[in-house]
Every structure is written in structure tokens, then in C-alpha cells.
Amino acid sequence: MNIRKILQVCHHCKPGQQLFRVAGLCLLSIILMTGCARHQEPIQPVQQELAGCEACQGEAEALRQGMLNTISELVSADNELEEWQKQQIQAQAILPLREDNTVVVTGIDHQIEPVAHAVASAFEQAAEILSRDADNAHPDQEHPLRFERLSVHSGESGKVAWVVLSKEGVKLVFEVEEQKSCSRCDSVIWNYRFGCSPDAPVILQQEQ
Amino acid sequence: MKQKPDNKILKEPSEGTEEGTKTVPAPSVVSRRHVVAGLSVVMAGTLLTGCGTLIQPGGMASGEVSTAEEAWRQSLLREIHDIARQWPEMDDRTRQQIEDQAINPLRDNEHILIAGLDQYTRPVAIEFQAMFELALSRRLQHSLVKSVTLIIHTDRPATPLCHPKGQVFADALPEAIRNDTRRLMTILNRTVTLRSLCSMAQPEFRCITAWSRGGTGQLAATERKMFEQAIADNSLPGLINMPLEAASIPPELSGATCIVTGQGGEEIVFALNGQQVWNSERNAVWQYWFGGRRHERINRHLSRLDHFLQQAGITVPQLGGRGPAV
């Protein structure tokens, strides 16, 4: 293969220079035609996610708020939790999740871990109740039909996720993820994510 | 490399002359090498800086975050990180906690909660605020920002202004705080950093201390006197006293909000929600918002604060409210 012949350059020209020019011009053309990568990926507002995608038309948000109501009621009625614990569960997870589908809580491990476990436990109970209700419900009633619990552990970090499937095909994912950020000072980050995510079950199963 | 004769001189088509012909003024020699070099510069510039269309504050849709705002945010976090390393009289554990619980999570998130016992979370949340105030003072000194509006919206007047610079009236504080050096230091450090900010003589800086009706009546005599001195102090030209008509501030709005406009027009919001030291409970949840004002969560927080302050008799145009400037 004669590179000079392909690039149509004479013996005075260096094929490397010509290749660089061609590549540079191609890249520039691509940038000018398609815009730069940063322009193509603006950070999307969270509210847009909450509004619901085209598929669910906001049904996921209604289901999400309904589940948060059930979780809140379960926490309030739990006699094993002290009042300050109930307040912390509300302040750290339930109230923020009412407005946004991701919440980042940082703190010292032993101080915020019990809250995260209580939130996870309340969610599982809520999903069980709604699932049980759905089994006995009238076909027209809007309840999730089933839920699935998935756990992913990687090193010191762990993630538990529940996938709730409604009869309308809405897929809600609730994730509780722990990220150990520092072993010296016991700092930890807990991420709560609760939202409509059609692809999440597949992704989670692949992670497992 | 020799140039091909055909490409040596490029003549532009003529225009504007009666004869319809025009001689291209010198220099008229444009080689392929020049074109390639010019394009390479443009391309390198585009790749390094982005295409520039996002850096137009007025042109962005609600919710989008500009590259300039994000760059500003990240650089300020780096600066705070460096300040934390040199912060005086702080144990390594607290220093590490500030990094892991505030600085690093805010690199990836515009909104975080810091939760746990007040004795552990207050030093993290408030020292971080003090570090931000110091970083902002430096940027103002070096004219790196166009304007700054800091609003401290609390039930009582801003705590650091009720104590002398570099000192704390320990007797005026709750016993739990009085016996806790780490929490005492949070007040002491901010008596310095907040005054340093308020001493900025630039007209583009203002610090509004907005407090609930009867807020000064709850202060100890020494604190009240110190606050009145601070308000009357000519060496703090940026400080504005704005008592509110409201009897109290909702707990979720108690804190401070700072709106910074960079030299490129980018608007960054740094906001904190938490309880003042006299109102501290055993368990605390602090909220931090840090990012472009068009970010959904930040915009929502500003709207709520603006609505509350307007109802309480204050209009701060920088929050988005309309009306005469305070």
C-alpha cells in the first residue's frame, strides 16, 4: 500500500503532515457540524425527571408520592423508633425525596447508618403492603403488582435496590447506596434514589 | 515544503468599485499552511474552551448549568480545600470530615445534607461556611467577582456580629456549647471571616443581616451591645441591618444565602440551612446548595426564600424578587 498514492502527495511532501491536516480538518468539520460535546449534554433539571417520561405520563410520580405517604405512615406508627429517630428519617430521606428523586446525605457512619437502615426497612414494608393489597385489589385499583429486591455490594460500598412494577407497566426504582468515603474519620455518604427508571432493572441485574 | 504555484496567490472577487474590479490590498498571500494553522488554532480553542454558546447567561433554558458556572464552582471548592489544609487550630479529624462530608460531595452534587449529632456536624457545616467566606473575601480583594449579595436570614441577628472580633461571649451561650471547644471555635472563626467580608468597601458587595421581629430582645446584653456596635461601625461598610416583620423564620429557611456574580456574568449560589447556635438541638440536619442559580433545586430554594422575605417586608432583587432594592 502506497500511502503517498492514497493521499495524493508528491515526494516532496511528508505523508504524516498531510495525514495530520486531513484528520484536523475532519475533526473541525465534525465539531462545526455537531457542536462540542459539552454543548450536547447540558445538565438536565431534576424537575424534568419528576414530571415523568413519555411512557408513563406522570403515573410514576403519582405512584412515587403514594409510596412515600405509606413509608411516612409506617415510620410514624413504628413504636420501636424514638421520636428523634422518626424526625431524622423524615428530614434525611422522606421530605427531600418528596421533591427530588436523589438525595445525598453525609455524616459520620454510626450516626446516619441507622437512619438509612430504617428508611430501607420502611420502604420494603411499604412495598410488601402495596404488593399484598394489589393481590386482593379490584382490577381497576391502582397498585403496584409486584416488587423485587436487588442487592449489589462492591468493596466497602453497598447498594440495595427495589424495583416496583405497576400493572400499567411503570417501573419505579428505589436505591439506597452507601459510599464509604473515609475510614480515618468514619465519614460516609448515603445516596437515596427513588424514581421512574425503565432501564434500571436490567442495569441492576447486569451489575449483580 | 514547496508551495504549488496555483495556490500561491488567492485573489478575492471584487466589490464596491465602479468598474467592478478591485485589487485585494496586501497582504494577499494566503497559503494552505496559513489556513491549516488558523483552523488548528480555532479547533484547539474550541476543544479547550467549549463552543462558547453555553456561556450566555440570558440565553440558557431554566435548569441548565453553564460550563462557566461549573468551572467557577469547582475552582472555589478547590480553593476551600486549600484553605481547609491551612485552617488554624483545627484537628486533623475535623479537617478530614469537612473534606469528606462537605467539599467532596459538593464536587458532584449541587445539594447535600450533613446529618448527625450537632456536636459533630456543626463544626463541619459552620467551619465550611467560614472557609467559603474567606475564599470569597480573597476573590473580592482581587476583583475576581462582579458582585456579591450575602443574606443572613436567621431568627436572631447574625451570631458572629454579636461577638467581638476574635472573641466569644461564652457566658451568653448555651452550656453545651460553652463547654465544647470545637463548637465555640465555629463562632470565633466567623467573627473574623464575616467581618473581613463586611469590611469590603466595594460597592458591589453587600451583606444583609435579616432577623425576626424581637430577635435582638432575645440576645444577652453583651451580645446586643456588640451587634449595635457592628451595625454602626464605619469599618464595615458592606453590612446592612434589615429587621423582618415576621415573628420567626421557618426552620427550613434559617441560614445564609450568597449570590455571587462572576466577571463573565455567571451567577453562583452558595446557601446554607441550619439552626443558630442558641437553637441547636442534639441532632441536626444541615443543607447546602452550591451551584448555578438556574439549577432546579437552587432556584426552588431561592424562590421560597424570596417569597418569605417579601412577605416579611424585604425585597432583595438578586433573589429574583421585584421591587425597590434594599
Convert the pLDDT of each residue in A105-144 to its tens digit.
999 999 999 999 999 999 888 888 877 766 665 555 555 5
Asked if the Cβ–Cβ distance from B112 to A45 is below 8 Å, we say no
- Chain A residue with minimal CA distance to B66? A42
Question: How close is the nearest chain B Cα to the Cα of A52, in Å?
Answer: 16
- Helices then strands (H, E): number in chain A? 9, 5
Position A39 scores a pLDDT of 40
Average pLDDT over residues A156-181: 79
Return the SS3 of A45: coil
A–B interface: beta-carbon pairs under 8 A:
130
Cell numbers for B42? 480555532
Q: Which of B47, B116, B297 sits opposite A107 (nearest CB)?
A: B116
Do B120 and A108 count as a contact with CB atoms less than 8 A apart?
Answer: yes
Grid-cell match 476543544, residue found: B47
Nearest CA in chain B to A190: B113
In this model, does residue B107 exceed pLDDT 70? yes
For residue A43, the 8-state DSSP code is P
The whole-angstrom distance between B269's CA and the closest CA on chain A is 16
Flag whether pLDDT at B241 surpasses 70: yes
Cα–chain center distance at B288: 12
Question: H helices of chain B, where?
Answer: 32-49, 67-86, 92-98, 104-108, 118-141, 175-178, 181-198, 221-232, 296-311
Cβ distance A201 to A192 under 8 Å?
no
> Residue B228 corresponds to which cell in the numbers above?
449595635
Nearest to A38 among B50, B295, B297 (CB): B50
Residue A208 has pLDDT above 80, yes or no: no
Report pLDDT for B24: 30
Closest residue in chain B to residue A35, using alpha carbons only: B51
| Cell triple for A140 | 381497576
Distance CA B268, CA B246 (A): 28
**Residue A194 φ/ψ, nearest 5 degrees:** -145, 105
> In the 8-state DSSP scheme, what is residue A166?
E
Contacts of residue A96 in chain B, CB cutoff 8 Å? Answer: 113
Q: How far is B242 from chain A (nearest CA, A)?
A: 30
With cut-offs at 50, 70 and 90, classify the pLDDT of residue A145: low
Residue-level pLDDT at B30: 38
A35 and B53 in contact by Cβ < 8 A? yes
Q: Please report residues of A whose CB lies closer than 8 A to that of B54.
A: 38-39, 42
> Looking at chain B, which residue has its C-alpha nearest residue A116?
B115
What is the C-alpha to C-alpha distance for residues A186 and A110, in angstroms, rounded to an integer? 8
Please, what's the b/e burial string for B88-103 (b: 16 or more CB within 10 A of its CB; e: otherwise)? Answer: eebeebbbbbbbbbbb
Question: Parallel, antiparallel, or unpaired for β B145-154 and B205-211?
Answer: parallel
DSSP B102: I
> Which 3 state secondary structure label does DSSP give B7?
helix
pLDDT of residue B251: 95
Chain B residues near any Cβ of chain A (below 8 Å): 1-2, 36, 39-40, 42-43, 46-47, 50-51, 53-54, 61-65, 67, 93, 96-97, 99-102, 104-105, 109, 111-117, 120-121, 282-283, 285, 295-297, 300
Residues B210 and B114: their CA atoms lie apart, in Å, by 24
Peptide bond into A144 cis (omega under 30): no
| B104 — pLDDT class (breaks 50, 70, 90) | very high
CB atoms B65 and A14 under 8 Å: no
DSSP secondary structure code for residue B295 in this structure? S
Q: Which residues in chain A touch residue B304, judged by CB atoms under 8 angstroms apart?
A: none
What pLDDT is recorded for position A32?
Answer: 60
User: Is A38 within 8 Å of B62 when comparing Cβ atoms?
Assistant: no
Q: What is the DSSP string of A58-83?
A: THHHHHHHHHHHHHHHHHHH-TTS-H
Segments making up each domain of chain A, as ranges: 3-38, 56-207
Instruction: Give the nearest partner residue to B112 out of A46, A106, A182, using CB atoms.
Output: A106
How close, in Å, is residue B165 to chain A by CA atoms?
30
The residues, ordered by sequence, that sit 6+ positions from A95 with a Cβ below 8 Å of its Cβ are none
Q: Return the H-helix or E-strand segment holding A34.
A: helix A15-34
Q: Name the percent of chain A lying above pLDDT 90.
A: 28
Quick: pLDDT tens for A76-99: 999 999 999 999 999 999 999 999
**B12-63, pLDDT tens digit by residue?**
333 333 333 332 333 333 344 554 454 444 444 444 443 333 333 333 334 4
Contact between A150 and A162 (Cβ < 8 Å)? yes
CB–CB of B285 and A182 under 8 A?
no
Instruction: Compute the nearest-CA separation of B38 from chain A (Å).
Output: 11
Judged by DSSP in three states, A149 sits in strand
Q: Which residues of B touch A44 (CB under 8 A)?
A: 63-64
The grid cell for B198 is 463586611
